[in-house]
A and B are shown apart, each in its own frame.
Chain A
């Protein structure tokens, strides 16, 4: 699913060069549930941006679902994001003054689906995160947990094989966090969607079978927990 080799990202701040990523090699198979951990400044956010095709590496290769992504143009990257990746952010990132329905329809505006089909799929997607009946609610009429569910419905609506979640529970209380994490687990188990989760909370990382630790732009620990049994959360 994801294959990166020698991934390097260098920011130049005036005279100084900052190596945000320093030759990262990683591969993530289809259907994995991976938590990426590390302190701030460890390079995990930069890594996520590149995985999400929002940013391009200075050097190195990145293959996503068979597509060599590293050298693609802005527009081609936009297409890949639309088709292959669902984003879930810490701050939900829903459009203001917009209904849940319209937020979920958003990704489909950019791949030319007819309005009927958009509506049908958005309904379905909202139903799958348990928000049936809230389609017409505006973002600011929903609780944090509900907003994050809308964001997940939006991420799912184009049927991507990969979901990238950047601190998805960072703004939520522990109970709601557990509910959200359950949704991710369900998607991973039932639909075989690859989930890559960035977090600095160990108990959230516990949901993932594989944990990758970043430090100073390098992978310092990559651990697949044998005999992993999913624990915690509201069953």
Chain B
């Protein structure tokens, strides 16, 4: 029976809003801004978090990065990685002696001009071993990976990324073709699967993998390594893995008591987790700020509803005289508050989605509007309407019919 009253009440509410167009628009503005802010902030937060997760996945899980420390020559300290103390023997020791490490791969790298027939391309060349596949969870889509024989025999075989194939071969099958890296001919034995951008925005597919031994002697002319990438056995063992590697290298490099290590060990998963936590905190913070504007919007609704109740005292009296009960009057004003907040909420969602698109199009932030954030914002605006509409509605319902009828 009460149900039947809803439609006329909504019609009455809409008419009231139409009559006071400016006032309704200004009242809704608070809710519109609040909801739009919530949606936009959540979109920025979600976008950042999704991007981080993609990056985490593209690096591989449970990765430890070991890089040589800095050198000091004549008081000038070079940056991390400038030291030449990290060598292949360290890699073998880590693989053999660290039980928490599943696999480890070396890295010597540099950029090089690559030539195939009349085409050439500048790319990053990396010397590594067969374990790189496992460490990075990075397989080949065709051909084969580098293997032990390539490393031990210093072969001139290489595995290329998708970008190299695109740039040098187009539609042609690159397997078995010979390319020249720094004028040294290499045979392509495999093509890596696509990986996309790295966390710092590099094209990870723009790379060539060669045997570390060949890379050291034929391409870069060094005897040391630029880095070792190790993969922990499990997420739980990451702390142990870092400890074991640190202790082992500390001993192998004979670091004197009280001096800094000549290498550093970093847990990439930790860094990503930290970045993700920061993103979440930021999103939460922005969300809270946005909720405050929703709250202010709600107070605006309450204010306008109180004015409306006073203005329409006589109408309330008439309705009571012809048989409206307290709850009928209450329902009517609650519906009006709800219409305001829901209308504001819907407009706010539209504006929020638009803003998210605009912010996303600048390229600095990735934004993603989720169904959850839309529902949250909408639910929140409805709750605001009910909460702030309640007091004025109750005030209307409690009016004395005689006094209300005589109200001028």
Contact = CB atoms under 8 A, between A and B. Distances in A.
A52 B15 contact: no
A81 B323 contact: yes
Given A93-B314, A97-B15, A110 B324 contact: yes
Given A74-B326, A95-B315, A97-B15, A112 B4 contact: yes
B287 interface: no
| Binding site secondary structure of chain B | helix
A97 B402 CA distance: 22
Contacts of A49: 402
B15 A54 contact: no
A105 B4 CA distance: 13
A106 to B, nearest CB: 5
Contacts of B19: 97
B323 A79 contact: yes
A111 B325 CA distance: 10
A123 interface: no
Interface in A127-170: 154, 158
Nearest to A103: B318
A83 B405 CA distance: 19
Contacts of B318: 93-95, 106
A75 B405 contact: no
Q: How large is the interface on B (under 10, 10 to 19, 20 to 34, 35 or more residues)?
A: 20 to 34
A107 B322 contact: yes
A114 interface: yes
A106 B402 contact: no
A75 B324 CA distance: 8
Among A79, A89, A110, A115, the one with the most B-chain Cβ atoms within 10 Å of its Cβ is: A110
Nearest to A55: B402
B1 A112 contact: yes
Contacts of A97: 15, 19
Contact of A106 (B1, B15, B322, B326): B322
Nearest to B7: A115
B402 A78 contact: no
Nearest to A105: B8
B245 interface: no
A137 to B, nearest CB: 16
Contacts of A81: 320-323
A74 B328 CA distance: 12
Interface in B294-310: none
A78 B8 contact: no
B401 interface: yes
B319 A106 contact: yes
A46 to B, nearest CB: 9
A33 interface: no
A82 B323 contact: yes
A214 interface: no
A112 B7 CA distance: 12
A78 B405 contact: no
B5 interface: yes
Interface in B216-273: none
B323 A87 contact: no
Contacts of A54: 320-321, 401-402, 405
A202 interface: no
B322 A75 contact: no
A55 B321 CA distance: 11
A175 B327 CA distance: 41
Contact of B322 (A110, A112, A114): A110
Contacts of A72: none
B67 to A, nearest CB: 76
Contacts of B326: 74-75, 78
B5 A109 contact: yes
A75 B325 contact: yes
3 A-B pairs closest in CB distance: A82-B323, A112-B1, A107-B322
Interface of A: 49, 52, 54-55, 74-75, 78-79, 81-83, 87, 89, 93-97, 105-107, 109-115, 154, 158
Given A78-B326, A83-B323, 4 more contacts: A78-B320, A106-B319, A110-B5, A158-B323
